[in-house]
């Protein structure tokens, strides 16, 4: 065996904003612990050639009223220890221990109703939207609507922001939608490189961080930003469509992860200290996700 082989470095931890993730149930309220733990029930030992008795039959799908909506869900059972909720493009999935009851699942769903409804709304908003790449169409920039003015040019593609809320796009073939979008995306990315680092620095200094995070522009299609344990923050260039308060919420969210690499109560308190009223910004951004992500 070689003695000079270096161990592999662990992959950096990364937290994503609005990426699908699990919600784990934890009982709410303060409970007084018992004086001594209750005795454990006897454990039945089974030989390897003798299978354990099957779990009682329970529904693998269901529907429950959460808020003002009837929500369908699937149940996946395995040898886990606690109930988790997962939301993605297919809907709500309950990850449950093999023998947990439907009654307990309903209790967990009701306690996590706000989270479930918010995540379902985000995924519905990500449905594809068709964009119009012709003169007269509109595009958002820092919360303002700009009117596209597309013209032919024999030179390199060029995008200019004019005084009358018009965005002039000059490409070889104005009827080539891919070329028009490509020129516009390049323009957005260039402005993102100039806009995001300053906002990251602003919130980093508000937290008295000695070392400023590195800022990168992301092309992700399912998240607005991310932060990893290497102090690298990635922000989606599509955020430049949003008003500044919504951009600042995402930036503050990611900078707060430099201190709290989690979504605990301490983390959200930190976000609130950086961006007062962040809940309102999050709701507004959720409502515009489908539109913004279609660019």
Answer for the pair 281, 35: CB distance below 8 angstroms, yes or no: no
* 21-76 tens-digit pLDDT: 445 454 444 444 444 555 554 443 433 444 444 444 444 788 899 988 889 898 98
The answer as to whether 142 is a domain residue is yes
Least confident interval from 14-18, 72-76, 256-260: 14-18
Domain boundary among 125, 149, 165: 125
The answer as to whether 116 is a domain residue is yes
pLDDT at 12: 53
Torsion of CA 97, 101, 102, 108, to 10 degrees: -60
Here the CATH number for the domain that contains residue 153 is 3.30.2010.10
Domain boundary among 71, 91, 125: 125
What's the total number of domains in the chain? 2
Residue with tokens 């503050």: 252
CA dist 240 and 246 (Å) reads: 9
The answer as to whether 43 is a domain residue is no
List C-alpha distances in Å: 2 to 7, 8, 9, 10, 236. 12, 15, 18, 21, 44
Q: Are 169 and 276 within one domain?
A: yes
Instruction: Supply the mean pLDDT for the chain.
Output: 82
Per-range mean pLDDT, top range of 20-29, 224-233, 275-284: 224-233
Residue with tokens 């299609």: 221
Q: Identify the band that residue 191 occupies on the pLDDT scale cut at 50, 70 and 90.
A: very high
Q: Which domain holds residue 160?
A: 138-293
Domain boundary among 70, 92, 125: 125
pLDDT at 88: 78
CA dist 233 and 200 (Å) reads: 8
Q: Identify the band that residue 128 occupies on the pLDDT scale cut at 50, 70 and 90.
A: low
The answer as to whether 270 is a domain residue is yes
HSE, side-chain direction, 13 A CA sphere, residue 283: 6
Q: Are 218 and 277 within one domain?
A: yes
The answer as to whether 1 is a domain residue is no
* 55-67 tens-digit pLDDT: 444 447 888 999 8
């Amino acid at each position: 065996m070689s003695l000079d082989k270096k161990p592999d470095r662990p992959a950096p931890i990364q937290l994503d904003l609005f990426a699908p993730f699990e919600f784990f149930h934890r009982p709410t309220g303060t409970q007084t612990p018992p004086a001594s733990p209750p005795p454990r029930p006897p454990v039945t030992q089974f030989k390897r050639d003798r299978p354990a008795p099957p779990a009682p039959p329970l529904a693998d799908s269901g529907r429950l009223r959460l808020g003002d909506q009837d929500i369908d869900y699937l149940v996946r059972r395995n040898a886990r220890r606690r109930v988790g909720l997962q939301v993605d493009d297919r809907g709500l999935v309950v990850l449950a221990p093999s023998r947990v009851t439907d009654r307990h699942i309903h209790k967990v769903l009701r306690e996590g109703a706000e989270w479930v409804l918010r995540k379902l709304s985000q995924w519905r908003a990500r449905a594809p939207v068709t964009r119009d790449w012709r003169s007269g169409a509109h595009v958002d920039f820092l919360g303002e609507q700009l009117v596209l003015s597309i013209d032919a040019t024999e030179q390199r593609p060029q995008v200019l922001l004019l005084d009358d809320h018009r965005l002039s796009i000059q490409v070889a073939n104005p009827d080539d939608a891919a070329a028009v979008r490509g020129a516009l995306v390049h323009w957005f990315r260039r402005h993102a490189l100039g806009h995001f680092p300053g906002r990251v620095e602003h919130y980093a200094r508000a937290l008295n961080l000695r070392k400023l995070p590195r800022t990168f522009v992301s092309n992700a299609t399912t998240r607005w930003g991310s932060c990893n344990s290497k102090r690298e923050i990635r922000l989606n260039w599509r955020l430049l469509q949003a008003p500044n308060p919504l951009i600042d919420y995402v930036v503050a969210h990611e900078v707060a992860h430099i201190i709290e690499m989690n979504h605990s109560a301490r983390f959200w308190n930190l976000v609130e200290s950086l961006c007062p009223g962040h809940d309102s910004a999050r709701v507004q951004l959720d409502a515009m996700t489908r539109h913004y992500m279609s660019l």
